[in-house]
Amino acid sequence: MDLSDHGGARWRLCLTGPNAASIEGTGSCTWDRDRAFVNEVNGHDLRIGTVDYGVWVALSRREFQLGATDRARGGLVATYTPGGIQPFGERTDDGRTGQLAFDVTLMVDPETGPTEGAPPRHAGMVRWLHGDPPPPA
């Protein structure tokens, strides 16, 4: 795996529904080849109670996903997406800092059906801050 385009980051997750909680931790980002723009934000898993949350934001495509792994339920994994309309908030021109509010629903796998026991939706906000880009490849 080539990590030459990756850099360090911090991210903060604030959940407003169905549960309210807030947590901050480490993440990473993927820079473009010229190191002028952040293409993707990856929020590494953070635990709230028994659930590990992670986020993925593709800035250029305006896509967002929230992942949740419930350790109390044997590692029950659920992915949440906003459906057809992707949320997007504010960011700097280079994508180094930004935030977005979200209201996402449980993604249903057509082969296995919905993840049993997972909440049907999550709402909240995610913020990110990236450090300096890595050296050019």
For the segment 94-122, what is each residue's pLDDT rounded down to a tens digit? Answer: 999 999 999 999 998 888 887 888 899 99
What's the confidence (pLDDT) of residue 86? Answer: 63
Whole-structure pTM value: 0.89
The whole-angstrom separation of Cα 29 and Cα 38 is: 7
| 126 token code pair | 């995610």
Contact call for residues 13 and 46 (beta carbons, < 8 A): yes
3 — pLDDT class (breaks 50, 70, 90): confident
Domain spanning 6-129: CATH 2.40.128:
yes
Q: How many CB atoms lie within 10 A of CB 124?
A: 21
Contact call for residues 121 and 12 (beta carbons, < 8 A): no
What's the confidence (pLDDT) of residue 5? Answer: 86
Using the predicted structure, report yes or no on whether residue 128 has a pLDDT greater than 80. yes
Residue 6 backbone dihedrals phi, psi, to 5 degrees:
-95, 145
Q: How many CB atoms lie within 10 A of CB 31?
A: 24
Buried b (16+ CB within 10 A) or exposed e, 66-101: bbbbbeeeeebebbbebeeebbbeebeebbbebbbe
For the segment 48-97, what is each residue's pLDDT rounded down to a tens digit? Answer: 999 999 999 999 888 899 999 998 888 889 999 987 666 678 899 999 99
In this prediction, residues 34-53 reach a mean pLDDT of: 94
String of DSSP letters for 92-134: -TTSSEEEEEEEEEEPPBTTTBS-TTS-SEEEEEEEEEE-PPP
Domain range list for the chain? 6-129
The whole-angstrom separation of Cα 107 and Cα 65 is: 10
What's the confidence (pLDDT) of residue 1? Answer: 65
